[in-house]
Structure 1
Amino acid sequence: MAFTVLAPLSIILLLPYLTSSLSSCGESCNTLNDCSGNLICINGKCNDDPDLGTHTCSNPSPSPGSGGKCKPAGTLHCRSKTYTTYKCSPKVTSSTPAKLTNNDFSEGGDGGDPSKCDEKFHSNSERVVALSTGWYAGGSRCGKMVRITAKNGKTTTAKVVDECDSMHGCDKEHAGLPPCHNNIVDASDAVWKALGLNKDLGVVDVTWTMAQVSSV
């Protein structure tokens, strides 16, 4: 009887200490549950949740959805050209402007290495995308669905499986390609087909947002 009475009481007494142990902005974390309030664990640090669009944390490199202005992080010199690099991307809204590009996510395709989210290659028949570094948000959008809308009015959903690196490029890891701009949705053939677009166009203006579905 003593055990059944005291155990719940011990838990109640410990609750304030358990609550206060949650990490705040910029503090270390391991799982999504380690951060207080509406914060999320990104790259081992508690930060604003890009899906909720919070701006609780004061960060010199604002996370997507934080409402801060996205400024260049630096430059990268590659084959006699200079590219601007970005850690951030424009704020994610219900209709976020982006540039749609095409990528072959299959083995031996344009991307080189397997997709960053799941370390796998993906068929051109799958509706999958890579997002610019800021929108990729340290992998917090991995496996989540985005909704993409073309100017022709067609809409489709796709799963986030990779990062379109806005900080690095021109090396073997990035198949020799330069860094992405900070507003890229790099999509498979299946996404272009679903939107009724010709992938030979190279770059097309679209809008995107997070979708409320869990799989393709």
Structure 2
Amino acid sequence: MLTEANSLFGTQIGACGGFNVNSDHVVALPPLEYAGGTHCGRMVRIYYQGKSIDARAVDLCPSCGLTGLDLSISTFQALAPLDVGLIYVDWFYI
């Protein structure tokens, strides 16, 4: 899915129940993908400008629209500098 991603996701307890830190490669899913927790723990592969990273779905992002993601700081930094703020990525479940 081609969508936007940002790095507003930090250290916290995710909607899926676990505690996450900035160094974890994790994402928050949009409401339709989160689906009441159905996809908690699933891995996603995210692509941006020739780079890719695998991350675990651990949270809900109510403001992410239909397909947007919130990325942990380390996940975002694997793809782009934080000061970019918002990137457009492709992602899918693996």
State whether TM-score is above 0.5: yes
Q: Stretches of 4+ moved more than 2 A in 1?
A: 179-183
Asked whether the equivalents of residues 10 and 73 of structure 2 are also in contact (C-alpha less than 8 Å), the reply is: no
* 2:10 pairs with 1:97: no
| CA RMSD across the alignment | 1.3
Number of paired residues? 94
Q: Which residue of 1 aligns with 2:36?
A: 138
For residues 86-110 of structure 1, give each alpha carbon's deviation from its aligned partner in whole angstroms, at most 9, with x where no partner exists.
xxxxxxxxxx111111123314xxx
Q: Percent identity?
A: 35
Asked whether the equivalents of residues 105 and 121 of structure 1 are also in contact (C-alpha less than 8 Å), the reply is: no
Q: Which residue of 2 aligns with 1:116?
A: 15
Structure 2: tracts of 5 or more residues without a match: none
Look up the SS of the partner of 2:33 in the other structure: helix
Letter in 1 for 2:8: N
Deviation at 1:121, TM superposition (A): 2.8
Q: Which residue of 2 aligns with 1:126?
A: 24
Task: State the TM-score, normalized to the length of structure 1.
Answer: 0.41
Change (3 A) 1:103 1:121: farther
Asked whether the equivalents of residues 131 and 162 of structure 1 are also in contact (C-alpha less than 8 Å), the reply is: yes
Higher RCO structure, 1 or 2 (CA under 8 Å, sep 6+) = 2
Larger strand share, 1 or 2: 2
Letter in 2 for 1:158: A
> What are the equivalent positions in structure 2 for 1:106-185 lying under 5 Å apart?
106-107=11-12, 114-118=13-17, 120-150=18-48, 152-165=49-62, 179-185=63-69
Task: State the TM-score, normalized to the length of structure 2.
Answer: 0.90
Deviation at 1:200, TM superposition (A): 1.7
Structure 1: tracts of 5 or more residues without a match: 1-95, 108-113, 166-178, 212-216
Deviation at 1:181, TM superposition (A): 2.2
Look up the SS of the partner of 2:15 in the other structure: coil
